[in-house]
Amino acid sequence: MYSHILFFARDKPSQTYASSNLHIDTSLLIDFRDRYSPLQSELQLQDFPIYAIRLQCIQKKMNDWRPQTLRELAVRPYKDPIMFYAFWFTSVFGLLSILGLGAAIVQAFGAVKTS
């Protein structure tokens, strides 16, 4: 029952999909979640005796994910978003520093050439 709550009773699009495509009675799931479930918001792996191993594998893959291409650098990782923002901050700051250095060199070269 917890698996169904996790997949189909967390938000409106999931509930709509479950009721229209899978013919699952979402009112029963919501009622169980709100009235009888001891877990109101946080679910742990031990609450999923069938799917726990697979969920743990998925969670490990999500946590260990690293970008493989330049395009994937723009995707914020699942864990540790501070590293993502620090990377982009230092990249922009470094690019601006290099452009400023290049402008200073061109300016100095122009000043020496006019003297």
State which amino acid sits at residue 88: W
- The pTM (predicted TM-score) of the whole model is 0.49
CB 5 within 8 Å of CB 33: yes
Predicted pLDDT of residue 104: 96
Least confident piece of the model among 21-25, 46-50, 65-69: 46-50
Q: CB-based burial of residue 9 (10 Å sphere; 0-12 exposed, 13-18 middle, 19+ buried)?
A: buried
The domain locations on the chain are 1-64, 80-115
Alpha-carbon gap, residue 70 to 27, rounded angstroms: 44
From the list 71, 63, 3, 62, the residue with the least C-alpha distance to 37 is: 3
CB 24 within 8 Å of CB 14: no
Higher pLDDT, 43 or 14: 14
Residues near 47 by beta carbon (within 8 Å), at least 6 away in sequence: 2, 39
Predicted pLDDT of residue 76: 86
CB 37 within 8 Å of CB 5: yes
State the chain's mean pLDDT as an integer: 85
